[in-house]
Amino acid sequence: MSFMIRNPILKGFNPDPSICRVGDDYYIATSTFEWFPGVQIHHSKDLKNWKLIARPLNRVSQLDMKGIPDSCGVWAPCLSYSEGTFYLVYTNVKSFDGVWKDTPNYLVTTKDITGDWSEPIYMTSRGFDGSLFHDDDGRKWFMSMLLDHRNGKFFGGIELQEYSASKKKLIGEAHYLTPGTELGRTEGPHLYKKDGYYYIVLAEGGTEYEHAMTVGRSKSIYGPYEFHPDNPFVSAAEDKNNTLQKSGHGDLVQTREGDWYVVFLVGRPLTPHGKCTLGRETAIEEFVWKDDWPYLKSGSRVPRPEIPSPRLPEQPNGEPVVRTHFDQDQIPMVFQSLRVPITKDWCNLDVRKGFLRLYGKESLNSLHHQSLLGRRIQSFNVQVSTSLEFHPKNIHHMAGLVFYYNAGHYHYACITSNPEGTRKFLCIISSDNFKMSFQEELEDVTSSTRVVLRGDMHRDRLQFYFSLDNKEFKKIGSSLDASILSDDHVRNGRSRYRPAFTGSFVGICCQDLAMNIHHADFEWFVYKEIE
């Protein structure tokens, strides 16, 4: 019965957690930004072992992201449950550059969390980080932060409006609840009711090293809200050496046994207040109630790398899959695409049995249609490899293995050709803030039908290798700076798009910059975490 929970519980780019319990089952929804399908939902029965079970926004009618800037798309989903129905609120951010932000919020529902979700119901575009609260009188309330474009203000506080499930729209007037605390940059609201109080939980201080969760309460849903005498409720800002940093933006849940837990995002920097190449992840802490206020049970507000188990039996998920053979009927759920659905016109398992065929589309700089299939990097030390057959005909044909953050930041080991198509060779293309560098014609592989590409990422260093027999591997090019694949690097540079909220991915891709039809065949993909 006794075990320890190791933080983070959801590793590698799983931010903005929203948690709900249905009986003995716990579900967490997290943000996916420009990656498709939208929203990750993990399931657990013990709050320690979590399994990815669904990505509910899997149709363009629910999530149209073609052309959106990096780090836009799905922000801060809110997952809730009431009377047999799951509700999911999400923002599909369309633009974020400049004074105005385009942030439409939607609601989808389902009876089966792993089944099909409804077509979206439009809520509002007044802000982002929408959430839904089900009151005990049967009424439902939508909350979000309020955008204010005047004089550089941006964060305008939190507002509330009633939602009618029968009419499938917001009704009545919007009510302004609170501007938040002195920490500022108030967002990520969630509402709860306990012992006669309405509790509002907020994300404040920005999503970097001053990030925090704060709490207010009121006897009326409309306020006024008084704030916790010892805010912030959760924050690592006071301890720069803590393993878990950037802690904030979270949600509360009560177990069937009556214990209370809070989940929240964290970042694990390579150095104190340094770069977080794994992106923003999800952690958990237990809390208790004192004088009708929540306090972390540890007596601190700083999250811990490890916490004692809840009063629940441990239920492990088994060993993670290391090798993916592309001889199956479906793409494994661990993989996602950029902005557009995974469809057979560009990603096909049928045309050549035992292989995944990628038809080359646009460049790695594209915000529209890339042929890229990627998965999260969830450990500081990974070894990733893939076997491919590719026969480029000109310099516009490329295919290979990519370590990717966004359209302006990646390292790409690829097979390409000379202009005449008479030779094929290995090349490394790197992009840092859209500044391209090339290590060209590193190895001639003209006579080789099949090539294995491998990337070893050890914290802030990345080295590519290749093999013709999957036994003997030889280095390709020089060691690369893997720390450019982080929010911190992108945000601190002069990036074309200011938002930087995701994390590092690794995947396979193919480009045909001439005709968008030339293909590459991938036999398998191996992702191995190294202690």
* CA nearest neighbour of 500 among 411, 436, 409, 429: 409
Q: Residue 423 burial (CB < 10 Å; 0-12/13-18/19+)?
A: middle
Active-site residue, selected from the candidate residues 16, 389, 456, 460: 16
| C-alpha dihedral sign at 165, 169, 175, 176 | positive
Give exposure, 456-490, as e/b (b: 16+ Cβ within 10 Å): bbeebebbbbbbbeeeebeebbeebebbbbbbbbb
Q: Rounded CA gap, 243 and 245, in Å?
A: 6
Residue among 34, 129, 159, 187 flagged as catalytic: 187
The candidate with the shortest Cα–Cα distance to 510, out of 429, 398, 430, is: 398
Catalytic: 119?
Answer: no
Does residue 16 carry a catalytic annotation?
yes
Name which of 500, 492, 511, 516 is nearest 69 in CA terms.
500
Neighbours of 261 (CB within 10 A): 22
The token pair at 80 is: 């809730």
Which helix H or strand E contains 492, and what residues bound it? helix 487-492
Total residues belonging to the chain = 531
Residue 380 buriedness (CB in 10 A; 0-12 / 13-18 / 19+): middle
* Residues annotated catalytic, as ranges: 16, 187
